[in-house]
Structure 1
Amino acid sequence: MTTYRVCFFFRRHYRAASGEAPEAIQEVFGQYSEGGVMREQELRRFMKEVQGESGAGVNDAIKESKYLKELQKKGLSVDEFYRYLFSDDNAAHPSSPGVYQDMTAPLSHYFIYTGHNSYLTGNQLCSDSSDVPIIKALRRGVRVIELDLWPNKRNNNVKVLHGRTLTHPVKFIKCLRSIKEYAFKSSPYPVIITLEDHLTPNLQAKAAKMLTETFGKILYTPMLESPEVFPSPEELKMRIMISTKPPKEYPESKTKMTSLATTTSHKVPTICGRLFYPITKFFIKEKEHEGQKADEEASSEEASDHEAITNDHELNEHYQEEDPEEGNGKPPIEYKRLIAIAAKKLQGDLTEALKIDPHKVTRLSLSEQALEKAASSHGTELIRFTQRNLLRIFPKGTRITSSNYKPLLGWMHGAQMVALNMQGYGQPLWLLHGMFKANGGCGYVKKPDILLNDNPDQLFDPKATLLPMKTLKVTVYTGDGWRFDYHKSHFDTCSPPDFYARVGIAGVPVDTTMEKTQTIKDCWTPVWDADFEFKLTVPELALLCIEVFEHDVSDQDDFAGQTCLPVWELRTGIRSVSLCDRKGRTLKSVKLLMRFDFIFH
């Protein structure tokens, strides 16, 4: 018996990348041009009628755009007009619009860019502690850095690590020196260091010495132990603030603790009362697998980070010579006076914790679960509390992979410090980065008036049914740039990619929604020409979410870019939108061309 093998070959051709303007853009050009040329008069009319630039705004747009300035005399062809629309000069959200909000109100009137366990390089259980992620966060504009302070094995020095875990420590002084060097590279507004303090009194005194000697005059020390109102970001420019519990809240019996990383390796760490050591190896294996699938362009950066961590040289021994037994067990005055923002955690009754003291302000910390319960039972009380006091939200302890919760619930209840893990990626982080693109990216965003209105009869209720204030109309025309940033087989080995876009709103529950375009097959420059409308009841808290994926029939769809933009800062008209990678870094070439218009009700 003869056996025959039959082979089938499928050949798919790559479509030539097209740089031509989509039909919809050509139609717009036709309305504002004559004889195939858009001259200065038509350009000004387009800027006013379509882009919403009025009067001096038109002149500024032309003046600030090198592209338009060079071509306004001879006019623009349709191709040149199309290239201008895709340029950074025509961005939906300018990269540097400058700080424009009032910065003279108390700190409690602002959302503040906040990180959680800012020193960790990866997961919450066994990653390295380092100053590298702190530097990254400060360069990005983060204004609140969290450090967990623990005694070392000899109980004679201060280290930073995630306590009772396998995380490797970093020296406290190293973190402080890096904070000083990078604190104001991206923003002049204050950096707040929140300390989770597990120190003995003598080590609190040592920590105070490190803080004062490192920061000197830029360390803000309040005149009053319990101020009645917080100072403003403007008053605190180029200053460092310390926020932690006053020492009196730490009984001496609780300060003798040491962490797993400084004791014998036979002690098994726990989380939420359960042993987790048996899953550690499995967890590390899973993280290695995830790392292999992560975006390739992050690899070189992570390698340099690892090198920076492993090449950590010994610091000055000036802070290592004190007798671990020195000190009389009393809280050191020099440490207590450095605390600019006194903190407390929820203990017991929530109603009691949310009571407002007219004579002093404080910072309250709630876990994400505690926030959910509080939002359900004490929503308006939370908002009233946050009009004078600071509220910090932190991830639940079971987020061992450094995952995150959605930040909107905290913001809509007035929480200023919605702390997220910065080590990974995902939509919660994208939302956080998007929120703090606002106000020039300075790390402080003024809370909307609805959250600051202290009239008892007009307190904002996030659960209330409100009428829409405006409608955001969005058109997704096209996208380009993947053909420059990615290899031709990155998304699909056998053919060009099949892109689709997701566009939606993250905000109060009634405003939150997500829509999807059709999938354009076999094309590096997809033209969707898709229209969407989003009714907004609280536009002051709305973020526009944009994501692009490559459809994969046999596997999970491939990520192709994302961004989140503050709705209240969107520039109307036909605009370019730069996309970012999973970690929020702007891609070199990938952009969408979109249109934004508002209808007011």
Structure 2
Amino acid sequence: EFLDTKDLMMFLEAEQGMAHVTEVISLDVIHKYEPSTEGQEKGWLSLDGFTNYLTSPDCYIFDPEHKSVCQDMRQPLSHYYINASHNTYLIEDQFRGPSDITGYIRALKMGCRSIELDVWDGPDNEPVIYTGHTMTSQIVFRSVIDIINKYGFVASEYPLILCLENHCSIKQQKVMVQHMKKILGDKLYTASPSSEDAYLPSPDLLKGKLLVKAKKLPTNCTGLEGDVTDEDEGLEMPQRVGKDGVEPQTVGTVKRIQLCKELSELVSICKSVQFAEFQTSFQSQKYWEICSFNEVVASKYANENPGDFVNYNKRFLARVFPSPMRIDSSN
């Protein structure tokens, strides 16, 4: 059983979708993949040779050009989809499972460019990471920063966003700052955004940089600390979608926490703010401000306000986090 050059030509055209196939091309395939000397001499492709060809890189569905970066990476950061991880530290379920630094190693090796750090006061004045109000275990903040420093740019040289949910006291916030500055050093991008620009810098300009996404003190704050709304996903999007579109919905009193100036100053072009409505954002949101959307709300915007949502994402970064109904850690 074998294919001659004409049989192979028909297969390449009809099944592989190749255009302008010639006998020369068929012979090239035979000479490259046919294991027997007789087959190569007579221009036959045996079953083994055919198998070799089908399992070779020449038949991969994956475009080999995409093994390296093939897109234009000089556009504003908001023009790209970003490979993101939610509750990166959880390696099992979202309520009782263990927290482990291997979650960060795995995410970073897979090329995630946005990871999450849920930080709370820990024992011995060392901040810890875990999901508050759950039975998940804790890991030391400093060890996660070490992992980020080691693996942050192994899979990709493009910027890594650290989504920092800060629930710490002022005292332990200062410890967080000390660890980040000492371990991460000049990898931290802290340059003040220019009011003359209209868009975020490009991934190309931000290579090797860590962007801290968190709350930031207002510019008129002159003290060493001030208060901001709590960076809590349960409070981040208190919204509902009504018959006439998206309307804000107040759910109780928004909790406020104290934020030290040193931690605030680590936030540059990913300042967390709360979303109100599209027209408000178009008129007053700064390009360096980022809103978080529950996936249910984001889905409704995409279906009911697609034009506004697309235009919003051209100008601003938008972080979409999973519904609380997702209890596994598959993402």
TM-score after normalising by structure 1: 0.43
What is the CA distance between 1:89 and its match in structure 2? 4.0
Inter-CA distance 225–330: structure 2 relative to 1 (3 Å threshold):
farther
What amino acid is aligned across from residue 166 of structure 2 in structure 1? D
CA–CA separation in structure 2 for the residues paired with 1:98 and 1:375: 31
Q: Percent identity?
A: 27
Residue 396 of structure 1 corresponds to 323
**Is 1:149 paired with 2:77?**
no
Residue 119 of structure 1 corresponds to 89
What is the CA distance between 1:351 and its match in structure 2? 3.7
What is the CA distance between 1:162 and its match in structure 2? 0.3
For structure 1, the 5+ residue unaligned runs are 1-19, 21-25, 258-270, 273-328, 403-422, 430-601
Within a 5 Å distance, the mapping from 1:520-535 to structure 2 comes to none
State which of 123, 139, 145 in structure 2 corresponds to 1:176.
Answer: 145
**Is 1:219 paired with 2:188?**
yes
CA–CA separation in structure 2 for the residues paired with 1:62 and 1:393: 52
Inter-CA distance 158–331: structure 2 relative to 1 (3 Å threshold):
same
Residue 251 of structure 2 corresponds to none
CA contact (8 A) 2:128 2:141 kept: yes
Inter-CA distance 63–381: structure 2 relative to 1 (3 Å threshold):
farther
Higher helix share: 2
Inter-CA distance 203–180: structure 2 relative to 1 (3 Å threshold):
same
CA–CA separation in structure 2 for the residues paired with 1:342 and 1:80: 58
**Is 1:334 paired with 2:262?**
yes
What is the CA distance between 1:228 and its match in structure 2? 3.2
**Is 1:92 paired with 2:61?**
yes
CA distances 1:481-506 after superposition (whole Å, capped 9, x unpaired): xxxxxxxxxxxxxxxxxxxxxxxxxx
Residue 32 of structure 1 corresponds to 6
Within a 5 Å distance, the mapping from 1:348-427 to structure 2 comes to 349-351=276-278, 354-357=281-284, 360-399=287-326, 401-402=327-328, 423-424=329-330
**Is 1:199 paired with 2:128?**
no
What is the CA distance between 1:62 and its match in structure 2? 10
What amino acid is aligned across from residue 263 of structure 2 in structure 1? Y
Residue 274 of structure 2 corresponds to 345
What is the CA distance between 1:353 and its match in structure 2? 5.3
CA–CA separation in structure 2 for the residues paired with 1:87 and 1:396: 41
CA contact (8 A) 1:228 1:358 kept: no
Inter-CA distance 216–61: structure 2 relative to 1 (3 Å threshold):
farther
CA–CA separation in structure 2 for the residues paired with 1:164 and 1:63: 64
**Is 1:139 paired with 2:109?**
yes
- The SS at the match of 2:315 is coil
TM-score after normalising by structure 2: 0.74
Within a 5 Å distance, the mapping from 1:511-590 to structure 2 comes to none
CA–CA separation in structure 2 for the residues paired with 1:70 and 1:220: 55
CA distances 1:359-399 after superposition (whole Å, capped 9, x unpaired): 53321101022223323442211111100101111112232
Inter-CA distance 228–337: structure 2 relative to 1 (3 Å threshold):
farther
What amino acid is aligned across from residue 121 of structure 2 in structure 1? P
Within a 5 Å distance, the mapping from 1:93-112 to structure 2 comes to 93-94=62-63, 97-112=67-82
What is the CA distance between 1:65 and its match in structure 2? 12
CA contact (8 A) 2:271 2:289 kept: yes
CA contact (8 A) 1:176 1:211 kept: yes
Number of positions where the alignment pairs a residue of Structure 1 with one of Structure 2: 293
State which of 131, 135, 144 in structure 2 corresponds to 1:166.
Answer: 135
CA contact (8 A) 1:345 1:366 kept: no
Alignment RMSD: 3.8
**Is 1:228 paired with 2:198?**
yes
CA–CA separation in structure 1 for the residues paired with 2:28 and 2:189: 42
Inter-CA distance 50–125: structure 2 relative to 1 (3 Å threshold):
closer
Residue 590 of structure 1 corresponds to none
CA contact (8 A) 2:226 2:260 kept: no
CA contact (8 A) 2:272 2:290 kept: yes
Inter-CA distance 254–388: structure 2 relative to 1 (3 Å threshold):
closer
CA contact (8 A) 1:354 1:382 kept: no
Within a 5 Å distance, the mapping from 1:303-314 to structure 2 comes to none
Inter-CA distance 365–338: structure 2 relative to 1 (3 Å threshold):
same
CA contact (8 A) 2:215 2:228 kept: no
For structure 2, the 5+ residue unaligned runs are 236-256
Inter-CA distance 207–61: structure 2 relative to 1 (3 Å threshold):
farther
Inter-CA distance 171–67: structure 2 relative to 1 (3 Å threshold):
farther
